[in-house]
Structure 1
Amino acid sequence: MKNLFKKKSLKIEKLIKKTLNFDEKTDIKRIKVSKTNSECGVFHKGEHKKVFAYSAKTACDKNNFVLGFVLTPGNYHDSSSFAEIYQQVITSYPNISTIVADSGYRTPAIAKLIIDDNRTPIFPYKRPMTKDGFF
C-alpha cells in the first residue's frame, strides 16, 4: 500500500512540476522606485528617456474651463483614473449630457459607465486591432 501511495505521489509531483513549470527559471521583475518620492511612477518620454513623474488628468467644458482634475503617477494609464475624475465632474455638474474623451479612455467599461448614467460618450475612431487578412 505504501509503495502504491509513493508511486501516485511521485506521478502527481511530476505532473505539478510539468504544469506549473517549476523547473524553468523565472525572471525577477525589478520595479524602479524614486528615492525622494515613492508615489510617483516611471514615465517613458520617448524611446530612451525615462523620468519619474506625475500625470494630471483634467476634465474641461467646451470653453476650456477646468471642471475637475486628478493627479496620478506617471506610469498609470488614462483609463485607470477615469472613474475618479468622472465622479468629481458628475457630482459637481449633474446636468452634463455628453462626455467627450480621447482614445486613452476608449474602453468598454468606461463606455458602459457613461451610457448607464444616460449620457452620450464620444470617442475618436480607432482602427480595428485584428490580424492582417482577418477581414
Structure 2
Amino acid sequence: MSEKVGTRLPAHTAEVQIPFKFTVVHGMESDRRSSQQKAVTKSLNLIGLVFETPTMEVDDFHLSFTESTYGRNSLEISLDLGKRFGVLELIAQVDWYERRPTALGHAFTVGISFLDPPIEVVDVLREYLQMLRTLSK
C-alpha cells in the first residue's frame, strides 16, 4: 500500500512483516478450497492486513472473486504472532488489490479485511499492535 507524503496510517496500524498462511475458500461452495499458501504481511491493523503476492490466482481460484461475477471468495488465515500472542485463526475477504511492476515482471499488493473476528482475537491484535508501538519508540 503506498502512502502519500504527510498521510498517517489508521490508528492501531503497524508496518510489520509477519509470515502467515492462507487458504482460498470458494464463495459459493465452501467445500472447494485451494492449497495452503504462505505470505508475509506488509502492514497489520485491527480490521485487516496488507500483503504482496506474485499472482491473484491460486489453484484456479482467484483470491477475490469466484468464476461467476456474483460470488466473492474468502480467505482462511492463520497468523502466528509468536509465543506470547499465539496463532490467530481469521476469516477475511479481499477489499482491494493493485498490480505493480517489479524487476521480475509484476506483483500484486492486496488489502484484506477480517470478517467478524471474535472480540478475543481483536483484543489480542490490539495488545500486539500496542506492544509493537511501544517497541518502536
When normalised by structure 1's length, the TM-score is 0.27
More helix per residue? 1
The structure with more strand, counted as a fraction of residues: 2
Q: Max radius of gyration: which structure?
A: 1
Give the structure-2-normalised TM-score: 0.27
